[in-house]
Amino acid sequence: MQCRTIRVLGLVSLVLAFAFAYVRATETPAIPTITVTTREFAFQAPDTVEAGPVTIRMINDGKQLHHVWLVRMDGGHSFEDTFAAFQATGTLPAWTKEFGGPNTPRPAGGESNATVVLEPGNYIMACLIPGPDGVPHLMKGMVRPLTVLPSARPAATPKADVVVTLEDFVFSFSRTPRPGRQVIEIRNAGRQSHEMVLVRLAPGKTVQDVLATIEHPEAEQAGVPVGGVTPMSVGAANWISVDLEAGRYALICFIPDVTGDRKPHFMHGMTKEFEVGETHASR
């Protein structure tokens, strides 16, 4: 009887061991996170990262708005000749691809994030936001190289609660975001690059009030930026994790219309206001 009990226990232990090994082999590894700290006018960031999904956690330690914009350089082009081409024309050369990244949170300690699926290669990390003098921060040295190394890890991406589609020139929701923590997938389905700036509006203010304060930074601010994604090439996608309070919000795309009149996309109507409703406790 004792021997039979020992054999049964041994069999159970073996089954449990195989089950545990199977779960460990099939579970999806956690997406790695890197931290990028911004200030006037520099990035504190790793020099290398492995390819695949990567969550970029941005901390703004500066006094101005900043963001993280990732651009891959193809065809063997260098950081220097790509940056020189951008300086000369004000547009990206044909050998580049925009992968997005976390858009601006509030200054002085604000945080934002974006999960980006990076491909191996050489990248530029830059901040396009202009200062009070109108000069983009990358022209003041807020630009640096980043190398993405090959990796064999699985390319699983976050599961989205809401999908926002960017087109020429509209934002479309799969559904309106709810209060609380959630993952929002942002996908560029347009014919040119787009970005998404997420702003929490001050009470009684509109997206037009936010746009008006861009020209008059000394005015009372009509909203607080809480992230979003930086410019992405056609077909690209990013995922952001946000914890939204109840209130009114706006989406804005600031980048210029490169296929038309060069005016910012918001001047073509690429803005959207939406309400995040109050949560109700279960009864």
Q: Residues 37-92: pLDDT tens digits? A: 999 999 999 999 999 999 999 999 999 999 999 999 998 888 888 888 888 887 88
> 58 lies in a domain?
yes
User: Nearest to residue 99, comparing CAs of 186, 206, 22?
Assistant: 186
> 4 lies in a domain?
no
pLDDT score of 28: 62
Structural domain boundaries enclosing 177: 33-276
**SS3 call for 148:** strand
Is pLDDT of 151 > 70?
A: yes
Q: From CA 106, how far away is CA 74, in angstroms rounded? A: 33
Residues 152-174, mean pLDDT to the nearest whole number: 94
> 230 lies in a domain?
yes
Mean pLDDT of the chain, nearest integer: 88
> 257 lies in a domain?
yes
User: Distances in Å between the alpha carbon of 133 and those of 40, 61, 86, 209, 257?
Assistant: 14, 20, 19, 21, 22
180-232 confidence digits (pLDDT tens): 999 999 999 999 999 999 999 999 999 999 999 876 665 678 999 999 999 99
What percentage of the chain reaches a pLDDT higher than 70? Answer: 86
What is the domain count for the chain? 1
Structure tokens at 21: 């090994």
What percentage of the chain reaches a pLDDT higher than 90? Answer: 73
pTM score: 0.87
Q: From CA 58, how far away is CA 223, in angstroms rounded? A: 20
Q: What is the CATH number of the domain that holds 82?
A: 2.60.40.420
Structure tokens at 270: 């690429």
> 26 lies in a domain?
no
> 154 lies in a domain?
yes
Q: From CA 215, how far away is CA 237, in angstroms rounded? A: 30
Structure tokens at 65: 């708005």
> 12 lies in a domain?
no
> 197 lies in a domain?
yes
Beta-carbon contacts of 249 under 8 Å, excluding residues fewer than 6 positions away, are: 177, 198, 199, 200, 201, 273, 274, 275, 276
